[in-house]
Amino acid sequence: MSFKERMSYSDYLHLEKVLEAQTPMSSAHDEMLFIIQHQTSELWMKLALHEIGAAIRSIRADRLEPSFKMLSRVARIFEQLNNAWDVLRTMTPSEYTEFRDSLGQSSGFQSWQYRAIEFMAGNRNLAMLGPHKHRPDLSQKLEAILAEPSLYDEALLLLARNGFDIGPDAKRTDWRETRTENEEVLVAWQTVYRDPQRYWMFYELAEKLVDFEDYFRRWRFNHVTTVERIIGLKRGTGGTSGASYLKKMLEVVLFPELWTRRVLFRSDPQRYWMFYELAEKLVDFEDYFRRWRFNHVTTVERIIGLKRGTGGTSGASYLKKMLEVVLFPELWTVRTRL
């Protein structure tokens, strides 16, 4: 079959451009993995922005049904992004060391699309415009997002249009400001959750927002553990504090009312292969175990919030403390030492 006179699969997808966009700066084998991991993540983020923007417009127009599909898709996008970390985790600290210097000052911290997602969702930290000042075109895009209500702002304005008291949020005019949790919004969502049959559309919207943030928070957590596994406690290439900075970001909650390490070591694995392999298996086990604990926290928060657990524990607060427990601390530290 000839496609000489027709548009082909490659033509439609512009595959030549896409597949020629990987240009390693070193001879290190693993740099290709690093590049593709980040390029594909940016493509998925582009789709997430497309869907979040459409969801915002739908909610603004009181068309909630389409927004449910869009928000569900965003959650699945972040599930896909979460799974991608598993591939990058196959890279060891010593393998990353081989090309790290080639990265210069480039860092995921400079991803304007990630910043756009946070801004559109509602986490509006104006200091985060700083990394993009060298690109006026990108700064303008981010400024345009900040000039409009966020996804969560639109959800609250929807409640207000339907008779709910949303307190100070009803009088907001400067959308660049970081909003703070307020009691009226808590009461409004409480009313919705107490009678989901009566307020089904608002209840469904709330659940879609929680679902999105659930996957988004897991993505941030997996980012932390992957960075700890590969660079440990070293500073990031972009000048951030690396894993420490990412851990702080775990405290950021997009929709608050709805929710009321391994460093580089130039070792000789060939000489001590059996012990090296054992150490890697232990790290691998703890990596998954820590992810399970994190998912336990977010699931408990999602179901019982900040209430006490049935066994007399402090519930989610207790589980969060358990996230600080490291089973094999020396292994996580030594992997990233030079």
Checking if the pLDDT of 240 tops 70, the result is no
- Tokens linked to 12: 């439609």
329 class by beta-carbon count within 10 Å (0-12 exposed, 13-18 middle, 19+ buried) = exposed
Q: Residue count of the chain, please give it.
A: 338
Q: Are 262 and 336 in contact (CB under 8 A)?
A: yes
Taking only the tens place, the pLDDT of each residue in 319-337 is 566 556 555 565 555 555 5
Are 185 and 169 spatial neighbours (Cβ–Cβ below 8 Å)? yes
Q: Which two tokens stand for residue 170?
A: 């009803």
Domain range list for the chain? 28-266, 271-332
- From the options 1.20.58.480, 1.10.1740.10, 3.10.20.30, 3.40.50.1860, give the CATH code of 28-266: 1.20.58.480
Looking at residue 224, what is its pLDDT?
A: 81
pLDDT at res. 330: 56
Higher pLDDT, 90 or 314: 90
Percent of the chain with pLDDT over 90: 38
**How much is the average pLDDT of 62-76?**
93
Q: What is the pLDDT of residue 232?
A: 64
pLDDT attached to residue 154:
96
Residue 12: pLDDT over 90: yes
- pLDDT at residue number 326: 57
Positive or negative: CA dihedral 168, 173, 177, 178:
positive
Nearest to 75 by CA among 302, 304, 245, 320: 302
**Is the pLDDT reported for residue 238 higher than 50?**
no
With CA atoms as reference, report the closest residue to 90 among 32, 20, 21: 32
Is the pLDDT assigned to residue 164 strictly greater than 90? yes
Three-class secondary structure assignment of the chain: CCCCCCCCHHHHHCHHHHHCCCCCCCCCCCHHHHHHHHHHHHHHHHHHHHHHHHHHHHHHCCCHHHHHHHHHHHHHHHHHHHHHHHHHCCCCHHHHHHHHHHHCCCCHHHCHHHHHHHHHHCCCCHHHHHHHCCCHHHHHHHHHHHCCCCHHHHHHHHHHHCCCCCHHHHHCCCCCCCCCCCHHHHHHHHHHHHCCCCCHHHHHHHHHHHHHHHHHHHHHHHHHHHHHHHCCCCCCCCCCCCHHHHHHHCCCCCCHHHHCCCCECCCCCCCCHHHHHHHHHHHHHHHHHHHHHHHHHHHHHHHHCCCCCCCCCCCHHHHHHHCCCCCCHHHHHHCECC
Task: Grade residue 293 by pLDDT with cuts at 50, 70 and 90.
Answer: confident
Q: Give the residue with greater pLDDT, 91 vs 23.
A: 23
Average the pLDDT over 189-199 and give the result: 88
336 forms beta bridges with 264
| Residues of the chain above pLDDT 70, percent | 73
Q: Where is pLDDT greater, at 233 or 154?
A: 154
CA distance 110 to 130: 9
pLDDT at 90: 87
CA distance 128 to 43: 21
Band of pLDDT at residue 147, cut at 50, 70 and 90: very high
For residue 220, the model assigns a pLDDT of 85
Amino acid 242: pLDDT: 43
The band of 258, judged by pLDDT with boundaries at 50, 70 and 90, is low
| Rounded-to-integer distance, Cα 51 and Cα 241, Å | 31
Does the pLDDT at position 153 exceed 90? yes
